[in-house]
A and B are shown apart, each in its own frame.
Chain A
Amino acid sequence: MLDILVIIFMVMGLFFFFGTTVGIVRFPDFYTRTHAAGKGDTLSVMLMLFGLALYNLHHLSPATLLVSGKIVIICVVVFIASPTATHAIMDAGYEAKVRHWSRPGAPKDPQDNSGEKQ
């Protein structure tokens, strides 16, 4: 029963990691790529770590509970730190006026000031 849960968590983590990788490789510009890295990475790391924490509870004892607790704390830290770092990187990119991608032939956004400095 526990094994099934662990497998579900790990496979979901792998799935989102795969999605992250595809996103980083295939998305067209800096913003969308950072977006994929920040979102998918956080979720998949948390899922996989949670799966490992569950797997560790096969033998229920204070020692394994302690280890699982530490893994859950790592989850919390990743949950806070990873999206914040992504936000900071993207903010820095916006301030440095990195050009964003738009569909070829799309009308130019009048409020778009990101393309002034190439």
Chain B
Amino acid sequence: MKKTALLIIAVLGILLLRAAEDLPFWGDPQSPASVHLSDYYLEESYEETSVPNIVTSVLADYRGYDTMFETVVIFCAGITVLIVLRRTHRRRAKVISPRPERPGADIILQTAARLLVPMMQLFALYVVAHGHHSPGGGFQGGVILGSSLILLALSYDIQMALHRFKEKLVLLFSAGGVLLYAAIGLACLFLGRNFLAYGAWAALLGISEPEAHSHGMLGVEIGVAITVLCIMFSLYIDLASGGDLDEGL
């Protein structure tokens, strides 16, 4: 069995190396990726989307379909961890999971968390909203938002964080973020354009088409941020407490 696995890996590795020979060199101006589309994005993306950050316009507009399913992948990963780990009352009786006792609360950590969490959340909102102009966007902002909740759960306990943000709401919102993304794209379909062609919103909102692209991107970034936030938090609470959601680390 081990030898078979080794053989398969060796064959695949040789294939990969042979295939990698055909890849273009780093920064080759003649490589296919730089010939057809890059110039177009560099020259036209600001005219078409009024978003100065080309990365954001490519990610959320030109390749919005791809990004939507990236968000779905994150959602699926979170749900998978939930299915594997989450223990209901019925299943809990079967599994014994001894955890060390953690006596007392740490006032230093709690005070620092109290000071830091609002700053983190404010900064996360800035990262989400400022993705059009600087590095940032839904994924990064969502991760910062999620880690602020995780910090709360770490320095107090999971119960306290769950009291602020119920598990049902977490799961509802993690699906809601993806649905918000899809809904923005679907609305374009109903307004007579292609899926995720944000220009369709222009007439409805009474703005020019590039601005509609910009606003559409902001909408989907918010959807991404909500999903990433909820999945990060859900992953933490399930992993840290072994699926019981009682006390955690």
| Chain A interfacial positions (CB closer than 8 Å to B) | 77, 80-81, 84, 87-88, 91, 95
Contact = CB atoms under 8 A, between A and B. Distances in A.
B76 interface: no
A108 to B, nearest CB: 25
B116 A81 contact: yes
Contacts of A80: 112, 115-116
Contacts of A81: 112, 116
A24 B131 CA distance: 39
Contacts of A95: 100, 102
Contacts of B119: 77
Contacts of B102: 95
6 contacts: A77-B116, A80-B112, A80-B115, A84-B108, A87-B108, A87-B109
A87 B113 CA distance: 13
A1 B108 CA distance: 40
Contacts of A77: 116, 119
B106 interface: yes
B116 A91 contact: no
A12 B119 CA distance: 29
Of A80, A81, A84, A87, the most chain B CB neighbours within 10 A belong to A84
A77 B119 CA distance: 9
Contacts of B100: 95
B212 to A, nearest CB: 31
Contacts of A87: 108-109
User: Which 5 pairs from chain A and chain B are nearest by CB?
Assistant: A84-B112, A87-B108, A80-B115, A80-B112, A88-B109
